[in-house]
Structure 1
Amino acid sequence: MIRIASPEHLESAQRREFWLFMLFALVLLGAGIGLRDSWPSDEPRYLLAAKQMVESGDWLFPHRGHELYSDKPPMLFWLQAAAYELVRNWRVAFLLPSLLAGLLTLGLTWDLGRRFWNHRAGLYAAIGVLFTFHFMYQVKRAQIDPLVMAWITLANWGLLLHFLRGPNWRAYWLGCFAAGLGVISKGVGVLALLMFVPYLFALLRGWQGVTRASNSTLRWLGGALAFVAPILLWAGAVLLVAHARGTPEYMTYVDDLFFHQTAGRYAGSWSHPQPFWYYVPVLLLNWFPLSLAYFSVAPRWRRDLAAGDARILLPLAWSLLVIVFFSVAHGKRDVYLMPVLPMVALAIAPYLVDIVNARWLRNAAFALALMGGVVIAGIGLFGLFGHSAATERFIHQRELDEVAHQIWGMIAAIGVAFVASAAWFRARRGVQALLGGIGALWLIVSLWAYPLLNDSSSAAGIMRHAREVAGPDTEIGLVAWKEQNLLMAVGPVREFGFNLTWDKQYADAVRWQAEAPARRRIFILEDAMGECVDKSKAIHVGHANRREWWMAGADALVRGCVPASRSDEDAADGAGP
C-alpha cells in the first residue's frame, strides 16, 4: 500500500531536518572553542580592544594600550565584550560572534532557498556554504569579516523577500537596517544596497516574480531611514563625546576613522595590492567544493536568465557587482568576497540536487576524497618515519620540535579520515564521501591542532616565560610589542605606545627603567634592539610568531645608544603557524 505524506507531516520533517543540520553546523563550527587563545595577526588586536572596553568601561572608543584604535568600527569589539559579560571567559567569548554570524548566514541561506524554490534547494545551498573551505576557515576565527557577511546576508534576505516575494515592507526595512549595521562593522555593509540595481533592471524589463510597489514613496524612503539610523546613532555619539573631550587625540581619531580608514581606504587601497584577476582563484579554490558545481550550473543559469527568472538574476548580478567593485580596487583580500558566497550558493540552489546526483560529480568527489586522503596520510607518515631537511626545518622554524610527532600523527589521521570516508560512502555517494572527509578534517584540526599549536601561534607561551624570567613582582616594559604581547602578559606590565617608532619606545623605556632599575625589566623585540642591548647580559626569552624576544635589565643596556628609527610597519607582521 502506498502512503502519501500529508503537507503537515512533510513540513514537520523538513523543520526537523533543518534543525538537525543546524545542530551539525554548530558542532562543526564550534569545535575547538575554548581550546586556543587569539592568534595573530588580527585576532589579538580586536580582542585587546574588547578586553579594554570591559576593563575601562569605555565602550564607545576602542583602545590599543593607552592609545585610541581607529582602524575599524567597534561592532565586533562590542559583541566580543558582550559575550564575555555573559560567559566570563575570554577564550570562549572572542570566538562567539563569528560562530553566531556563521549560523545566522546558514539559516538565512536555507530560508531564501526554501521560499524561492523548496526546502531541499535551501538545505543544499546551506550545506554548500558550510563545507566551503573559505567559510569554514573564516568563521572559526575571530575576524570582522564573518560578522560583515552575516549582516549583508541579512540585508539581502530582507531586500530579496521584498523584491521577489513582496510587498514585504518589514523585511525591506530590516534589510536596510542590517546594511547599516554592516557599515558600523566594517564600512562595506552599504554594498547590500547594490541589490537595487538588478531589481530595477528586472522591474523595467518586466521579469517574472518582481514586486511592484510604485505607490509607496514614504515606505521606500523608510528604508533609507532604517539604513542610516544605526550609523547616525553611533557616529553622532562618537562626534558628540569626542567634541566634549576636546583633545587632539580624539579629533585625530574621528578624522582617521571616518575619512582615512573608511572613505579613503577604498580609493587609496594602500595595503594588500593585487592584480585585477586576483579573485578568480579565490572563487575556484577557496570556494571548493562548491566550485565543483560551476561547470554544470553555467548553462542552467543562461537558460533561466533568458527565460526572465529574477530569482537567479538578483543574487547572481549582485554577486558580480560586488566582485567587480573589489576587483577595481588596488588592494584586495580574499575575505572581501565572503558576503558573496551565500548569494552564489543561493543562485546555484535550484540545481544542486540534480548536480549532486550527476555521475561525473559523484566520481570526481570520490576520487578527490580517496586520492587526497592517500596523499595527506602519506605526508603524515613520511613526517613520522622519514628524514627530510625540509620537514625538520618546517617544524623547527615554528618551535614545534617537542610536539613534532603529534603534528605528523595528526596529519596522518586527517588522511586516514578521508580514506575511511571514501570507503564508507563509496563512489555512488562520492559527494558525501568528500564532505565527510572535509568535516573530519575540521574536527581534527579544531580538537587536536588548536591545543598543540597554541603556544607557538599565540603569545601565551612567550609571555608566561617572560614572567618566569622577570620574576613575579617585576614590572615588565614592552618595546616594539604586538597586541598579543599586551593581551597575554602575565603580571604587571607597562607599554609606551604602539604607534610610536621603536627608537622612541626604547628611549621612553630606558628612562622608565632608570627610575627603579631593580624592579623593572624591558621585554624587547630583537629587531628593535640594534646595538643598544648587550646580548651577553640580556636573557633570550624565546621565539614566537616568527619573532625573537629578549629580556634586558639596566646592566644590559648600552649607555647613550639609540637604535635606528623603525616602526612595526617596517617589519613583517607577526603571524600564526
Structure 2
Amino acid sequence: MISGKMFWGCFLGMLAVYVCGLPATLMENDSAQFAVMAMRMVQENDFVNLIKGTEQYLDKPHMHYWLAALAYKLFGIHDWAYRLPALLLTLAASRACHGIGKELYNENAGRLAALIFMSAQTIVLSVIDVRTDAVLTGFTALSIWQLLRYLELGSTRGLLWGALTAGLAFSTKGQIALVVIALPLLCHVAYTRRWYRLADLRLVWGLLVFALAISPMLYAYYQQFDLHPEKVIRGRGNRSGILFIFWEQSFERLSGEGVGKNSSDYFFFFHTFLWVFLPWTLMGLAAFGNRAYRMARRFAGNKTAPAPPDAEAPGGAAGENTSGNPGVPEVLTLGGIAIIFLIISFAQFKLPHYLNILIPLFTVLTAGYLDARRKKGHWKWLRRAARLQAGIFGIVLLAVSGIVFWVFPLPGAAAVALVLVLVGSGIALWRQMADPLVRLAVISVLASVGINAVMNAHFYPSLLQYQAGSELARNFVREVPANPPIFKFSEEHTWALDFYSRQPVRIVRGGNRTDLAGRWVYVDEDKRRSLAESGWEWEREIVADQFRITRLQARFVNPETREEVVGKRYLLLLAPAAP
C-alpha cells in the first residue's frame, strides 16, 4: 500500500526534477519556435494573428501560445516563463490520473497512477522540450476525469468542468483532443450501458460551456483567415480557419497533405512506446497484454474457460472503486488506447510526442493492473516485477555514469559522489520497503528522478552550448547592449537566436553596401566564406559551435570525435568599406 508519506516523497522528488529543468535553454525547432510566436504576440500586442517567421500560421489553434504569452505578461519573456504553463498542466494531468484511478479502482491505484504519469520519460521531456502536447495532455486528462465523474455519479459539476477543459483542449490542438476524450468515455458508456447519461438534458449546458470555451479561438481564426480570403496558406487561397479546425486539420495530418509525410511505418508508435513510457514500459506492456486477453475472453463469451492467473470477477478486487462501477473498469483505458493507437498509426506524419495524449490512459491501466495483483496476493509475481524494475534502475545508473564520466564529464569527485548517492538511495529504499508493490513503485520513480535530474541539471545545459542560435544571442546581447537588428540571407529558421535576442531576425535577399554596411548578419561557414571571397569585410565577429542537438549521433556523443561533426555559426558586423 502506497502511504501518503511515501506518495508525497516520490511526488516531490519528481517535482524537483521538473523545476530543475525550467531555466534550461529552449531547444530548436518547435520549443523555440512556439516561444517566439508567443513572444511576438506580447511584443506586437496582437493576440489574434499567429505568425511563424514570415508566414501565416494555420496548423494549430491559439491556446498554447496564449498561455505562454500570459506567462510572459506576468513574469517577463524568459524560457522558464514559457515552460510554466506546461508544468502547471502536467501537475493538473497528474491529479487527473489520480482521480481517474481512484474512480475506477481505489485510492492506492490513484496514487500509483499519479506517480507513473509524473515519472514517465516522455512526460518529463515534454516540460523541457515544450510543444503543444503538455498543455493538450493536461486538458484532455482533466476532461476525461471530470466527464467520468458525470457518467459514474451524475455530477453536474463534473459535466461542466469536463466540457470546459474539453473546449480548452480543442483550442490547443484541434480535433485530436475530442477524439482522445470521447473514445475512451464512449467505450466506458457502451460497456456499462449508461446510455441514459447521453440523453440527459444537462448536456445542453455542457455543450454551451464547450461552445463558450472555444469561442475565443474561433474568433481569432475567423479574424485571421476567414476575413482574408486573399491569404495564401501552403499554396492555397481562400482558406477558412473555422472550416480548417472543425474538418480539414485531422485529415491533413492523417494524409500528410500540407504538413508533409515523414513516416509510413505503421509500427512507429509501437517501438516508440518502448522508450516513451520508461521506466514503466515492461509494466505497461504486461498490463495491456493481460487486460486485452481478459477482455477478449469476456467478449467471446467463454465463461467456462479458465481465466488468466490474475483475472477478477466483476465487482471483485480489480473492480473495486468509489462509484460502484460494475464490470471491468479497464474498458475505458484499454478501449481508448487500442482505438486511438490504431488511428494515429495510419497517419502519414508521425512524431514520438504524439503518444503523450495516451500516457494518462496507460498510467491508469498500469496502476489498476498492479494494484489488482497486490489485492489478489500475487506476491511472487510482484517481487519478480520489482526485481525487473531494479534492473532498469541499474541501467539508469550506467547511463548516468556514462554521462557524468564520459559524455560531458563532471569533476571527478562530484561524479563519484552523484553515483554513490543514487546507489545508496536505491539500496536504502529497497531494504526499507517490505511491500513488493511499494518497492516496485519507489525504485521506478527513483530511476526516473536519477536520470532526469542529471539530464535537466547537467546534460541539457552542456548539450545546448552547441546550439549556436542561443549562444550567439546571449553573447550578442552582452557585447552589443544597444541590441540592433540582425539580418540573415536565407529563410532558414533561427528560432533560438530570435528568442534570446528578443527580436525576429530579418531576411535580406542579395545585399549591397548601401543596405548592409554597418549591419549585423547571421551566417553559416559557407556563407561567411562566400562573403570573404566576394570582398566583404567585417569589423566584429561573434562565433559559436553548432550541432543539431535534437538529432544526436554517436560521433557527437563521443568526446573524441565530437569536433568532427560540430560546425560554426557567426554574427558579423559588416564594414562600411564593403564593395
How high is the TM-score relative to the length of structure 2? 0.76
Equivalent residue number for residue 445 of structure 1: 455
> Within 5 A, what are the aligned runs for 1:146-165?
146-163=134-151, 165=152
Equivalent residue number for residue 559 of structure 2: none
Contact map agreement 2:485 2:506 (CA 8 A) in 1: no
Determine the C-alpha separation between the residues in 1 that align with 2:238 and 2:418. 47
Q: What's the offset of the Cα at 1:202?
A: 1.3
Q: RMSD of the alignment, in Å?
A: 3.7
> Within 5 A, what are the aligned runs for 1:477-488?
477-480=487-490, 481-488=493-500
Determine the C-alpha separation between the residues in 2 that align with 1:104 and 1:139. 13
Q: What's the offset of the Cα at 1:50?
A: 1.2
The 10-residue stretch of structure 1 (98-107 or 436-445) with the greater mean CA deviation from structure 2? 436-445
Q: Deviations over 1:138-188 (max 9, x none)?
A: 13332110111111111211222223x132243234323322221221122
Q: 2:20 aligns with which of 31, 49, 58?
A: 31
Contact map agreement 1:38 1:458 (CA 8 A) in 2: no
Equivalent residue number for residue 509 of structure 2: 506
Contact map agreement 1:152 1:178 (CA 8 A) in 2: yes
Equivalent residue number for residue 185 of structure 1: 172
**Residue 263 of structure 2 corresponds to residue 273 of structure 1:** yes
**Residue 362 of structure 2 corresponds to residue 349 of structure 1:** no
* Residue identity in the other structure for 1:127: L
Contact map agreement 1:173 1:223 (CA 8 A) in 2: yes
**Residue 565 of structure 2 corresponds to residue 541 of structure 1:** no
Determine the C-alpha separation between the residues in 1 that align with 2:442 and 2:505. 53
Determine the C-alpha separation between the residues in 1 that align with 2:78 and 2:477. 20
> Within 5 A, what are the aligned runs for 1:168-183?
168-183=155-170
Equivalent residue number for residue 506 of structure 2: 495
Contact map agreement 2:116 2:280 (CA 8 A) in 1: yes
Q: What's the offset of the Cα at 1:244?
A: 5.8
Q: What's the offset of the Cα at 1:32?
A: 2.9
The 10-residue stretch of structure 1 (242-251 or 362-371) with the greater mean CA deviation from structure 2? 242-251
Q: What's the offset of the Cα at 1:88?
A: 2.6
Contact map agreement 2:472 2:542 (CA 8 A) in 1: no
Determine the C-alpha separation between the residues in 2 that align with 1:543 and 1:333. 27
Determine the C-alpha separation between the residues in 1 that align with 2:414 and 2:342. 40
Contact map agreement 1:532 1:557 (CA 8 A) in 2: no
Determine the C-alpha separation between the residues in 1 that align with 2:242 and 2:577. 38
Determine the C-alpha separation between the residues in 1 that align with 2:344 and 2:533. 49
Equivalent residue number for residue 286 of structure 1: 276
Equivalent residue number for residue 392 of structure 2: 368
* Residue identity in the other structure for 2:450: A
Q: 1:423 aligns with which of 420, 427, 440?
A: 427
Determine the C-alpha separation between the residues in 1 that align with 2:199 and 2:170. 29
Contact map agreement 1:524 1:550 (CA 8 A) in 2: yes
Equivalent residue number for residue 342 of structure 2: 324
Contact map agreement 1:113 1:119 (CA 8 A) in 2: yes
Q: 2:197 aligns with which of 213, 222, 243?
A: 213
Contact map agreement 2:467 2:545 (CA 8 A) in 1: no
**Residue 360 of structure 2 corresponds to residue 339 of structure 1:** no
The 10-residue stretch of structure 1 (80-89 or 473-482) with the greater mean CA deviation from structure 2? 473-482
Q: What's the offset of the Cα at 1:102?
A: 0.9
Describe the SS at the equivalent of 2:123: helix
Contact map agreement 1:370 1:422 (CA 8 A) in 2: no
> Within 5 A, what are the aligned runs for 1:99-248?
99-163=87-151, 165-187=152-174, 188-191=176-179, 192-203=181-192, 206=193, 210=194, 212-213=196-197, 216=200, 218-240=201-223, 248=231
Q: What's the offset of the Cα at 1:556?
A: 10
The 10-residue stretch of structure 1 (249-258 or 285-294) with the greater mean CA deviation from structure 2? 249-258
Contact map agreement 1:301 1:312 (CA 8 A) in 2: no
Q: Deviations over 1:471-503 (max 9, x none)?
A: 95764323334121222227x87502xxxxxxx
The 10-residue stretch of structure 1 (15-24 or 223-232) with the greater mean CA deviation from structure 2? 15-24
Contact map agreement 1:533 1:557 (CA 8 A) in 2: no
Equivalent residue number for residue 400 of structure 1: none
Q: Deviations over 1:516-561 (max 9, x none)?
A: 62x32322234567845538845573333445323456569997xx
Contact map agreement 2:476 2:542 (CA 8 A) in 1: no
Equivalent residue number for residue 73 of structure 2: 85
Determine the C-alpha separation between the residues in 1 that align with 2:229 and 2:370. 58
Equivalent residue number for residue 564 of structure 1: none
Contact map agreement 2:222 2:240 (CA 8 A) in 1: no
How high is the TM-score relative to the length of structure 1? 0.76
The 3 A distance-change label for structure 1 pair 470 and 544 is farther
Contact map agreement 2:486 2:521 (CA 8 A) in 1: yes
Determine the C-alpha separation between the residues in 2 that align with 1:487 and 1:92. 13
Determine the C-alpha separation between the residues in 1 that align with 2:356 and 2:576. 49
The 3 A distance-change label for structure 1 pair 32 and 16 is same
Gaps of 5+ in 2: 299-312, 315-326, 549-566
Q: What's the offset of the Cα at 1:44?
A: 1.1
* Residue identity in the other structure for 1:549: R
Equivalent residue number for residue 567 of structure 1: none
Determine the C-alpha separation between the residues in 1 that align with 2:477 and 2:286. 58
Contact map agreement 1:533 1:556 (CA 8 A) in 2: no
Equivalent residue number for residue 388 of structure 1: none
Identity of matched residues, %: 19
